[in-house]
Each structure stands twice: as structure tokens, then as C-alpha cells.
């Protein structure tokens, strides 16, 4: 199985393995299914590769110490990486903003945003923004072609 490992990123080995699992799912299923189909298939592939994960874990959201609701994140992987998946034609800025907001809300440093809806798998490594950086400086864009 192909992996995408770049040693300069935190948890690069794990994110590379996750992206490799997503590539395998996309190669097998292609595009055109609903997001839940890719969630289920990716969970199976992560299990097959021995990658510990929790799917659709409900997490509380807070504002200044007050509970304001909950949100289900698609995957938490090895308690280190938040993974949001999409099945849309193209990833848009709103998807990236959502992933960054989840990182901040859940106190996570690293996330992945993966889109199965295009003919080529799309993925972005997302890092919790530093106060002095803009979101565009924080995102790491990557695409793969089948």
C-alpha cells in the first residue's frame, strides 16, 4: 500500500499511513458514493492496517467554559489526529475552516481533511493555527492522482 510520509510534519508517519488507507479506499470504490460509505470503508482499512481509531465520537463544544452543544468528528485516530472526510466535487475554503475550527475546539494540533468525491483523492494536512499565522500559512495542500 502506498503511503504519503513527509518527515517535516508532526505525526508525519501516522498521517502518511492514514492517507495511504484513504488512497486504497478511493482506488477500490472510486468517487460517487455518500460520505458514510467512505467512512465505513476507511474504518475497515484502518483496522486492517492496525491503526487505532474512533469513528463519529461525539465531543462537547464549549464557549468560555460553558457547554454550547456537541459535534461528531468523523474520526479520532490514535488520540493524536482528527480526520474529517468529505464526498464533494471539490474541497472549498469552508471545509478547511471547519476542520481548523474543530482542531481548536477539541484542543488537537493536527488534522486531516480528505475528499473522496473527486475523481482523484484530495487531502489536506491541517494544523492548529498559531496566533501570528494566517490560515493560508498553516494549511499544507496535497493532491494525488490515480
Per-residue pLDDT reduced to its tens digit, 83-97:
999 999 999 999 999
Containing structural domain, residue 132:
12-143
Q: What's 89's DSSP letter?
A: S
pLDDT at 4: 46
Q: How many domains does the chain have?
A: 1
Tell me if 32 is assigned to some domain.
Answer: yes
Percent helix, strand and coil across the chain, each to the nearest 5: 35, 30, 35
Tell me if 24 is assigned to some domain.
Answer: yes
Tell me if 43 is assigned to some domain.
Answer: yes
CATH of the domain at 45: 3.40.1350
Judge if pTM exceeds 0.85. no
106 conformational bin, left if phi > 0, alpha if psi -120 to 50, beta if neither = alpha
Tell me if 115 is assigned to some domain.
Answer: yes
Amino acid at each position: 500500500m502506498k503511503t504519503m510520509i513527509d518527515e517535516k510534519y508532526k505525526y508525519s508517519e501516522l498521517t502518511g499511513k492514514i492517507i495511504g488507507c484513504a488512497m486504497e479506499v478511493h482506488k477500490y470504490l472510486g468517487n460517487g458514493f455518500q460520505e458514510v460509505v467512505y467512512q465505513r470503508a476507511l474504518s475497515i482499512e484502518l483496522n486492517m492496517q492496525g491503526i487505532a481509531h474512533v469513528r463519529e465520537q461525539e465531543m462537547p463544544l464549549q464557549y468560555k467554559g460553558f457547554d454550547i452543544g456537541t459535534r461528531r468528528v468523523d474520526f479520532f485516530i490514535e488520540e493524536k489526529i482528527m480526520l474529517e472526510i468529505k464526498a464533494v466535487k471539490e474541497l472549498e475554503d469552508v471545509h478547511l475552516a471547519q476542520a481548523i475550527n474543530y482542531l481548536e475546539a477539541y484542543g488537537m494540533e493536527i488534522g486531516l481533511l480528505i475528499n473522496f468525491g473527486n475523481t482523484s483523492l484530495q487531502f489536506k494536512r491541517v494544523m492548529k493555527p498559531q496566533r501570528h499565522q494566517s490560515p493560508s500559512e498553516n494549511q499544507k495542500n496535497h493532491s494525488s492522482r490515480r
